[in-house]
Amino acid sequence: MKKKILCMGSINIDLVMYASKLPRPGETVVTDNFQTFPGGKGGNQAVAASVLGGDVKYFTKLGSDEFSSQLSAAQREKGVFVEDILYVEGETAGIAMIMVDESAQNLILFTPGANQLLTPEDVRNSASVFDGCDILEITMEILPETVYEAIRIAKSKNMTVILDPAPAPKNGIPKEIACMVDYIKPNETEAEILSGVPVIDMDSAIKALKILQDKGFAVPIISLGEKGAVTVSEGSVYLEEPLSVKSVDTTAAGDIFLGAFTAALSSEKAFGECLEYAKTAAALSTTKKGAQASIPTRDEVEAYLNRRDHSE
Ligand code: RIB
């Protein structure tokens, strides 16, 4: 039976400019390509998990501005249950200013707005939101204490906890919390902050994975951008080779990886299959612009996987 997913974390409006190159400090680069998209790491993961087959509820705090209404509507439209979201009068939604260059790389500046007003107390007062859910998928553009309280509540209800430590807290994650996390997916920078090992190649990534396990995280998965992903589970190291696609925008690829992974896990797919599904969804998303706007459909992911199976 399909497990129910509760997603938490930031939800933002993304103001995106596409240009031939990213500006250096003091430089102005001109572009006429400006677009807005619904985004935010938590919002992206919720939509990805829903579109890719998950039964998803989203809990967050939004403001009373036009962006806030657009963001909850975008979630609802993609099948996410949004009725538990809290709204703060007079506050704005989170806003991300994103610049993307011709090689699909990006720079992001983020102001959290209502995201940072979700407190541990709010989570305790809304603990009934967790009822009936089996998996918590949570990311960190909200207060770390709020994330930790949500993880404690999820564990007290025997839920599986999936954490995207983005951005990673500079002073690390307390061991008490690490021991409650079933899956954690840092990128190279976040893995370095959490493990103390600069992740520059496969050997250093494997070293960082082992340190993360010693710190209490059961299954760490390090995403390596265009180099794929690497993880260790039950003593075995799994390397997920990257797919070869023509990328135009890598924004949210990590979020879509985790949303797809969570959707696959909720359908009780085996760990290796979840990774394969996640990697494919993330790679396909980079071929389109925007965060939530680039999430591939289930049919697109499955068609890619079937084509690949038949050509092997
Ligand atoms: O991971 C991409 C996301 O980071 C964007 O959608 C932006 O909102 C920022 O949160």
User: What pLDDT does 236 receive?
Assistant: 86
Average pLDDT, the chain: 95
Does any ligand 1 atom lie closer than 6 A to the CB of residue 67?
no
Nearest CA residue ID for atom 10, ligand 1: 40
State what percent of residues in the chain have pLDDT above 90.
90
Full-model pTM: 0.95
| DSSP H or E run through 156 | helix 144-156
Dihedral (CA of 63, 66, 71, 77) sign: positive
Count of beta carbons in the 10 Å neighbourhood of residue 196 = 12
Which residue type sits at 255? D
Return the active site residues.
255
Rounded to the nearest whole angstrom, what is the distance from the C-alpha of residue 96 to the centroid of ligand 1?
7
d(CA 158, CA 144): 21
Reference 51, options 79, 12, 9; nearest CA is 79
Question: Does position 311 have pLDDT exceeding 70, yes or no?
Answer: no
Which residues pair with residue 13 across a beta bridge? 38, 95
Backbone angles phi, psi at 267, to 5 degrees: -95, 15
118-165 tens-digit pLDDT: 999 999 999 999 999 999 999 999 999 999 999 999 999 999 999 999
213-267 tens-digit pLDDT: 999 999 999 998 878 899 998 888 989 888 889 999 999 999 999 999 999 999 9
Burial label for 27, CB within 10 Å (0-12, 13-18, 19+), is exposed
CB 84, CB 59: distance < 8 Å: yes
State what percent of residues in the chain have pLDDT above 70.
99
d(CA 167, CA 196): 15
| 87 token code pair | 């709204």
In ligand 1, which atom is closest to the CA atom of 12?
8
Mean local confidence (pLDDT), 44-73: 98
Does any ligand 1 atom lie closer than 6 A to the CB of residue 96?
yes
d(CA 312, CA 309): 5
Reference 4, options 44, 46, 38; nearest CA is 46
- C-alpha to C-alpha distances, 201 to 19, 68, 284, nearest whole angstrom: 29, 40, 24
User: What pLDDT does 1 receive?
Assistant: 82
d(CA 267, CA 282): 18
Which residue type sits at 94? G
User: What pLDDT does 104 receive?
Assistant: 87
Question: Does position 312 have pLDDT exceeding 80, yes or no?
Answer: no
| 274 token code pair | 């979840």
Nearest CA residue ID for atom 1, ligand 1: 252
pLDDT band for position 308 (cuts 50, 70, 90): confident
